[in-house]
Chain A
């Protein structure tokens, strides 16, 4: 059976086409503002094209993510937590925990048997928007994605209370002539502290093998800082962006 999963996140939409537990095609695109439904359609079509599959060949499409309702073509939907757990069981089966670091949401899931959720924790409102902050900070500071991912540690500190407070400190530092990369590094560390709170909410952690998912998993500097804060080593699966979409596709095939 060929199934598809689409994960409509706060910033990015990810889609995969799967068969027998393997990804045939994948695509990522901007989720969009007013044109979210159209963008979801475009990303889905792009995934089909990547797989070389006609739409009619897909038996079921399940949606997930904050914007799951925008996938009007989906047959059903599942929450991110459940989709992540299911996706992790297939794409990183040796993982004991999944730690998803997205534009808006940070989520930790302890993985149970057969792709079930044993325990989970999601950020509270004060911890929202970590990924978005780093993305828009990069644009404002004129730094590329690669530069953001390879930032060196810094002694400069910004408020780690929430993205709003960190952003306030950015303005002060800019006014004081602090170098852009140092500011970005300070914010990266602060956001790592915020994200760590979600991991610490878990009552029965399983740190043996923690896999990362979501856009920030591809930011080397952020991952490094998070590892320092939590004294852990993380695994970043090859398809870290698509674990949630894959989970939705697998749930469709189940």
Chain B
């Protein structure tokens, strides 16, 4: 590698992740189970239902964009002609287009959904998750209300919100039992809760380890892992072991200064999901020795790190259920899963502090030099507040670059050549040249 400064080696956890991912893929293609859409909680709660699999359309759509953009384009067209225009999330367009075409990109039958449980969102694009499945067939839908308020943090209101969300989750589980004749295994759910909490702690440690220099993982590495045990379903003991092993490996890499990118000399961050159909821009940036160490989306999904007054880095204070609470009843388990705070899972979208201000803290914690923000027209990467955040970062001395596109799952409007030229401009403005040219 040109300009190599650090030792680097492939992740050992990668092989196990591929194995598990292949198992999950087979699992969701089964036809003897009830397939649902969405996810009431982050985490594979449906594991406690013996014959149910729940598939979230976001990762399906993102995968399609990455794997087979030609097919994804066909799917989006199939969505558009049915009234789902390009302002809607590209993930939806990809996934539900496949539904209307009747097959997946490998030709296999599309796993038609029997119900939807979209997780709540403040964004009016995302609350439409799963509506396309209901356009296809009259299937039941359950969803929790999205709870939020403006103004100062109010612990009593937060508790009420959590209770309300818990009620919605409990009703959903009880209804699924009745409608599909499936028995929810509470003991499995308790095991899942405990495993989920441990997994969350391992993940929190790993994302903080990514702040080390050199970064042991780049965000591109993280994309291969971050859905494991959340959006992808496995037995909790398998997932817990996977994440513990992965944490141990990342810690070892930090202790031994093993880098994700051997020529790391510039660290940058993002805020949103990337252009899934154009992930090559990460490798392109590595030609400059520039590594992306994460984003609000990847690193701050479960945790909102901030720098405390005493200089330590820890999670933001939220009211939360005691992770050691007794789990005796289904209500206990549901409360536990609703969990850490009432605005889960994507604080960064709606928390009035996290959204506009936390990127400055992120930049300090992760020791970045610059930031790359996508200006997307729709979908999960909403552009709201990104220009203001860029101004705050620039005032602190960080360089910020923008690029434009439709949204992460849709290649329309992303001018790839222009994007690459803009990356060159950005890197050169930072005094860097491609290491291949040294």
| B208 interfacial by beta-carbon distance below 8 Å | no
Alpha-carbon distance between A125 and B377 when the two chains are bound, in angstroms: 13
Stretch from A93-101, A116-124, A181-189, A216-224 at the B interface = A116-124
Taking a contact as CB atoms under 8 Å apart, the answer to whether A79 and B425 are in contact is yes
| B108 interfacial by beta-carbon distance below 8 Å | no
8 Å CB interface, A99-151 against B:
116-117, 119-120, 122, 124-125
Across the interface, A203 reaches (CB within 8 A) one of B395, B428, B431, namely B395
Alpha-carbon distance between A117 and B431 when the two chains are bound, in angstroms: 9
Alpha-carbon distance between A201 and B422 when the two chains are bound, in angstroms: 16
Closest Cβ–Cβ distance, residue B399 to chain A (whole Å): 8
A116: chain B residues within 8 A (beta carbon): 431
Chain A interface SS verdict (over half): mixed
B394: chain A residues within 8 A (beta carbon): 119, 203-204
Closest Cβ–Cβ distance, residue B332 to chain A (whole Å): 50
| B312 interfacial by beta-carbon distance below 8 Å | no
Alpha-carbon distance between A116 and B421 when the two chains are bound, in angstroms: 19
Taking a contact as CB atoms under 8 Å apart, the answer to whether B404 and A82 are in contact is no
Taking a contact as CB atoms under 8 Å apart, the answer to whether A79 and B404 are in contact is no
8 Å CB interface, A163-177 against B:
none
Q: Mark B348-365, 1 if CB is under 8 A from A, else 0.
A: 000000000000000000
| B375 interfacial by beta-carbon distance below 8 Å | yes
Taking a contact as CB atoms under 8 Å apart, the answer to whether A203 and B391 are in contact is yes
Across the interface, B429 reaches (CB within 8 A) one of A66, A117, A201, A204, namely A117
Interface centre among B394, B399, B424, B428 (most CB of A within 10 A): B428
Across the interface, B425 reaches (CB within 8 A) one of A119, A122, A125, A203, namely A122
Across the interface, B428 reaches (CB within 8 A) one of A66, A81, A119, A201, namely A81
Closest Cβ–Cβ distance, residue A106 to chain B (whole Å): 14
Taking a contact as CB atoms under 8 Å apart, the answer to whether B425 and A76 are in contact is no
| A78 interfacial by beta-carbon distance below 8 Å | yes
| A80 interfacial by beta-carbon distance below 8 Å | yes
Taking a contact as CB atoms under 8 Å apart, the answer to whether B421 and A76 are in contact is no
A119: chain B residues within 8 A (beta carbon): 394, 399
Taking a contact as CB atoms under 8 Å apart, the answer to whether B428 and A78 are in contact is yes
Q: Mark A198-211, 1 if CB is under 8 A from B, else 0.
A: 00010110000000
Return the chain A residue nearest B390 by Cβ: A203
Alpha-carbon distance between A76 and B428 when the two chains are bound, in angstroms: 13
Alpha-carbon distance between A204 and B391 when the two chains are bound, in angstroms: 9
Alpha-carbon distance between A204 and B428 when the two chains are bound, in angstroms: 19
Q: Mark B396-438, 1 if CB is under 8 A from A, else 0.
A: 0001001010000000000100000110110011010000010
Taking a contact as CB atoms under 8 Å apart, the answer to whether B391 and A79 are in contact is no
Closest Cβ–Cβ distance, residue A140 to chain B (whole Å): 27
B402: chain A residues within 8 A (beta carbon): 124
Return the chain B residue nearest A121 by Cβ: B402
Alpha-carbon distance between A81 and B423 when the two chains are bound, in angstroms: 12
Taking a contact as CB atoms under 8 Å apart, the answer to whether A79 and B421 are in contact is yes
Closest Cβ–Cβ distance, residue A57 to chain B (whole Å): 25
Taking a contact as CB atoms under 8 Å apart, the answer to whether A124 and B404 are in contact is yes
Closest Cβ–Cβ distance, residue B420 to chain A (whole Å): 11
Return the chain B residue nearest A82 by Cβ: B428
A204: chain B residues within 8 A (beta carbon): 394-395
Alpha-carbon distance between A162 and B181 when the two chains are bound, in angstroms: 58
A82: chain B residues within 8 A (beta carbon): 425, 428-429
Taking a contact as CB atoms under 8 Å apart, the answer to whether A120 and B429 are in contact is yes
Taking a contact as CB atoms under 8 Å apart, the answer to whether A122 and B422 are in contact is yes
B437: chain A residues within 8 A (beta carbon): 76
B395: chain A residues within 8 A (beta carbon): 203-204
Return the chain B residue nearest A117 by Cβ: B429
A201: chain B residues within 8 A (beta carbon): 387
B404: chain A residues within 8 A (beta carbon): 124-125
Return the chain A residue nearest B393 by Cβ: A203
Say whether, besides A124-B402, A124-B404, A204-B395, A79 and B431 are in contact (CB < 8 Å). Answer: no
Across the interface, B424 reaches (CB within 8 A) one of A79, A120, A124, A203, namely A79
Alpha-carbon distance between A82 and B390 when the two chains are bound, in angstroms: 21
B375: chain A residues within 8 A (beta carbon): 124
Say whether, besides A119-B394, A203-B395, A204-B395, A80 and B425 are in contact (CB < 8 Å). Answer: yes
Alpha-carbon distance between A241 and B150 when the two chains are bound, in angstroms: 51
Alpha-carbon distance between A232 and B101 when the two chains are bound, in angstroms: 57
Interface centre among B387, B415, B431 (most CB of A within 10 A): B431
Alpha-carbon distance between A125 and B412 when the two chains are bound, in angstroms: 14
A122: chain B residues within 8 A (beta carbon): 422, 425
A78: chain B residues within 8 A (beta carbon): 428
Alpha-carbon distance between A124 and B402 when the two chains are bound, in angstroms: 9
Across the interface, A81 reaches (CB within 8 A) one of B387, B390, B415, B429, namely B429
Closest Cβ–Cβ distance, residue A12 to chain B (whole Å): 18
Return the chain A residue nearest B423 by Cβ: A79
Return the chain B residue nearest A120 by Cβ: B429
Closest Cβ–Cβ distance, residue A148 to chain B (whole Å): 28
Interface centre among A79, A119, A120, A204 (most CB of B within 10 A): A79
Closest Cβ–Cβ distance, residue B192 to chain A (whole Å): 46
Closest Cβ–Cβ distance, residue A145 to chain B (whole Å): 29
Return the chain A residue nearest B375 by Cβ: A124
Q: Mark B20-64, 1 if CB is under 8 A from A, else 0.
A: 000000000000000000000000000000000000000000000
Closest Cβ–Cβ distance, residue A101 to chain B (whole Å): 17
- Contacts from B to A (Cβ < 8 Å): 375, 387, 390-391, 394-395, 399, 402, 404, 415, 421-422, 424-425, 428-429, 431, 437
Known: A124-B402, A203-B391. 6 other contacts (CB 8 A): A82-B428, A119-B394, A119-B399, A120-B429, A203-B394, A203-B395
A sample of 10 cross-chain residue pairs with beta-carbon separation below 8 angstroms, ordered by A number, consists of: A80-B425, A81-B428, A117-B429, A120-B425, A120-B429, A122-B422, A122-B425, A124-B402, A201-B387, A203-B395
- Can you list the 7 inter-chain pairs with the closest CB atoms, starting with the nearest? A203-B394, A79-B425, A117-B429, A82-B428, A79-B428, A203-B391, A81-B425
